[in-house]
Amino acid sequence: MDLGLRGKVAVVTGGSRGIGLATAECLVREGATVVVAARRQEHLDAAAERLGVDAVQADVTRLEDLDRLAREVQERHGGADILVNNAGTGTYKPFLEVSDDDLVHGMAINFFAQFRLTQRIVPQMIARGGGVVINVSGRTAVRTAFPPGSTCTGPAKAAEVRFSADLAEELKPHGVRVVCIVPGVVMTPDRFAKWEREAHGRDLEGGEAARIRAELERAKLPAGAQWGTPEQLADVIAFTASERASYLSGESIIVDG
C-alpha cells in the first residue's frame, strides 16, 4: 500500500534504536525525508549510515537541544510535516524506592519532552499547511502494574495520552492531527534489561532473565501471543502519519497484542 508519504518531512525522536529506528526505516521506505534525533552519537551515526537519513544529536530533556533540533529541521528541510515523539523510557522501581530524581527525570524524558518539542515543531507544520503529531506512550498509561514497578512511569505516560487528546482539539483548525500510540511490551533488549535491573535490583543472568520473561509472557499475553516487535509498531505509526488515516485524530491507539 502506498501511504502517500513521498516528499513529506518526518522527525523521529529516539530514532537510533528500537521503535524509533524501525519507524524511521518504514518512513524512508515510503519515500519520506526523515530526520532522526537521539542522545548517543554512536547509535545516531549508525542509524544515519544504515538508513541514509539526516541525523541530529539531541537530548530531549534539554531545552537548548530541542531548540537546535527544531532550528536545524527548518534550515535543512524547510520544516516538518510529521513529528513522531518516540523518545522516552521507564523507571521500574517499587514505589518507596523511587527517588525524586527518578520522578523528575521520568516526567522530563516522557511528557515534558513531547510537550516541548511539539511546541517548537507545530509552527512549522502550520506554515506548511498542516501536519501530524504522533506521541508514543506506553501501556503503563492505561494498564496498572505491568511491568511491575510502574508508579513513576505510568503517570508520565498517562499525561501523554491526555496531552494528545487536548492538543488534537486545539490544533484541528490548523490542519494538524494528533494521535497517541500506546504500545504494549515491545521486545527491545535495552528496555528489557533496564526493567530487569531496576525491578530486581541487580543484573540478571541470561537464563534467569529468559525464564522471567517467559513467565510474564504466559501470565500477561493471550495464549500463543508473544511480545511485540518494533517493526509492528512502526507499521502502525507510518499508517497513522499518512493521509490514509486522515479521519483519525485525538485518539489513543493501544497496540499490545
Chain segment 91-129, per-residue pLDDT in tens: 888 899 999 999 999 999 999 999 999 999 999 999 999
Three cell numbers, residue 55: 541525523
Q: Do residues 60 and 37 make contact, with C-beta atoms less than 8 angstroms apart? A: yes
Three cell numbers, residue 243: 493521509
> Given pLDDT bands bounded at 50, 70 and 90, which one contains residue 59?
very high
Three cell numbers, residue 186: 515491545
Name the average pLDDT for the chain.
90
Which secondary structure element, helix H or strand E, spans residue 181, and what is its range?
Answer: strand 176-183
Spatial strand order of the sheet with 33-38 comes to 54-57, 33-38, 9-13, 82-85, 131-136, 176-183, 252-255
pTM, rounded to two decimals:
0.88
pLDDT at residue 159 in the model: 97
Nearest to 212 by CA among 225, 199, 230: 199
Q: Do residues 156 and 135 make contact, with C-beta atoms less than 8 angstroms apart? A: no
Residue 133 backbone phi and psi in degrees, to 5: -110, 125
Segments in the chain forming alpha helices (H): 18-29, 41-51, 63-77, 100-107, 113-127, 153-171, 189-200, 206-220, 230-241
Residue 228 backbone phi and psi in degrees, to 5: -70, 170
Residue with cell 501501556: 139
Percent of the chain with pLDDT over 70: 84
In angstroms, the CA 60 to CA 198 distance is 22
Q: Do residues 205 and 247 make contact, with C-beta atoms less than 8 angstroms apart? A: no
SS3 content of the chain, % helix, strand, coil (to 5): 55, 15, 30
3-state secondary structure of 96: helix
